[in-house]
Structure 1
């Protein structure tokens, strides 16, 4: 599937413009439309209890109004930091603003918009103690790129694949094919952690399959050296100079919801490289 409709989360994080730059680069390379989504966090209050007195109520309303004005200024700055470079890059783009109140209110909107997108680009923001990407990748039915809050030289030229032969990893590779086909180098990272029925050399099978797409991928069998699987993957990304990691969003069911597995969670926490996840 081609990447023609990209969704970008816009927020007031100071590191967000670096994420916007990567999203704009992806839109240019894939000739895609980029839609920015900003969920505003307004302060809503009915005032103090009636017994507080007219003077205190008025002070309270003024404080709320001042806080909302600050939020509105931050909103305009955040949107401008997306629309101005997008316009300068000459890509097709638009943006939407939705109203939210409180932590986590962006998640339902992101999931809703994600369902008609080909790819979602997010930051490392958290809601209720977990990365927002968790909800979007499991609820939106679409691959997600999580961008760490650091400067990036580019994305999609030196791609690594975290591969264990699982269904989730296979889904991520298929979703990433439009990026893999344009990459200068692709490295398949295999950390020996086999499950029942999995090939002892799963990387070779994937490399052979990718060659049919014109992708010449190298297989790298990663030695853990006492590390966790997640830490071994993150360490190897730095060694090979990867600018994108493709991996399955492994998880398990808990009380009728999916939660990220330990490897996925660890990589998201530690990686300085953008991570494309699918489930």
Structure 2
């Protein structure tokens, strides 16, 4: 993971995202690409008399946003120069979620915020990026001070394309992990891709993994997975994101969505 994409923002979670991105860059020897986005203001009037005034206001708003972005970039550059991590800035017009998707074509991972319950805008943005970006998303809890990448990595396995993509995308981290645990919750039985097949695949990449099977019992799959991560001392959970359509996730819920609101452990999500 040499190209790490991070959205710059003035929100309350930016510091946690930044620290997570810096930890990841140090761990992998990667480069941090900071994306600054600017929204395009809508014209305020459409009639002939008001068009010139509206256009003038839009130009002024764009200039003001450009000045704020420049000031922010200068302050952040001075800080990052002391972090010992290579970095660069990229600017884009548009909504943060869509610009992250656009920039993902030449990115290895996108660092985003793991939303708390009730943060619907963040949840919507994370849904959109995970399901459309051409890179996995590392979702960092809002209150995190650092990523504990030296801890074991838990691979949440089920025989789906999304879970397989997560395993492949997480390979640079799995190869450096102190231990890799493949966890299945109430596995459906023997199929084409049982956990042992995942372990064999990883072994070809020099990764030795341990297998763990758990039963949810009366708990949800997400709660059982988080309890297992705590039991195993996991510092990261790698998993497939959104097995259903996004609309069905919102209507019916799902393991991914419940994990997003409950996990205090960073999640590496791939679709």
Give the alignment's TM-score, normalised by structure 1. Answer: 0.77
Give the match for residue 89 of structure 2: 95
**Structure 1 CA distance, aligned partners of 2:207 and 2:108?**
21
Asked whether the 8 Å contact 1:11–1:78 carries over to 2, the reply is no
Greater alpha carbon shift after TM alignment, 210-219 vs 243-252: 210-219
Match of 2:266 among 270, 274, 277: 274
Q: Secondary structure at the match of 1:151?
A: coil
Q: Secondary structure at the match of 2:181?
A: strand
**Structure 1 CA distance, aligned partners of 2:76 and 2:230?**
29
**Structure 2 CA distance, aligned partners of 1:233 and 1:176?**
18
Q: Secondary structure at the match of 2:32?
A: strand
Report the CA distance shift for 1:223/1:14 in structure 2 as closer, same or farther (over 3 A).
same
Match of 1:141 among 134, 137, 145: 134
Q: Secondary structure at the match of 2:170?
A: helix
CA RMSD of aligned residues (A): 3.6
Match of 2:184 among 190, 194, 213: 190
Question: How much has 1:223 moved relative to structure 2?
Answer: 2.5
Render the CA deviation track for 1:131-173: whole Å, top value 9, x for unaligned: 3222122222211111110124424322111011222111110
Report the CA distance shift for 1:273/1:136 in structure 2 as closer, same or farther (over 3 A).
same
Q: Secondary structure at the match of 2:229?
A: helix
Map 1:224-263 → 2, pairs under 5 A: 224-253=216-245, 262-263=254-255
**Structure 1 CA distance, aligned partners of 2:131 and 2:269?**
10
Match of 1:120 among 87, 110, 116: 110
Asked whether the 8 Å contact 2:19–2:146 carries over to 1, the reply is no
Q: For structure 2, list consecutive stretches of 5 or more residues without a partner in the other structure.
A: 48-56
Map 1:161-240 → 2, pairs under 5 A: 161-194=155-188, 197=191, 202-240=194-232
Q: Secondary structure at the match of 2:177?
A: coil
Give the match for residue 97 of structure 2: 107
Report the CA distance shift for 1:84/1:17 in structure 2 as closer, same or farther (over 3 A).
farther
How many residue pairs were aligned?
260
**Structure 1 CA distance, aligned partners of 2:171 and 2:93?**
35
Give the match for residue 17 of structure 1: 15
Q: Secondary structure at the match of 1:147?
A: strand
**Structure 1 CA distance, aligned partners of 2:136 and 2:33?**
15
Give the match for residue 264 of structure 1: 256
Q: Secondary structure at the match of 1:225?
A: coil
Give the match for residue 52 of structure 1: none
Q: For structure 1, list consecutive stretches of 5 or more residues without a partner in the other structure.
A: 50-60
Query: Counting strand residues as a fraction of each chain, which structure ranks higher?
Result: 1
Report the CA distance shift for 1:269/1:173 in structure 2 as closer, same or farther (over 3 A).
same
Question: How much has 1:198 moved relative to structure 2?
Answer: 5.1
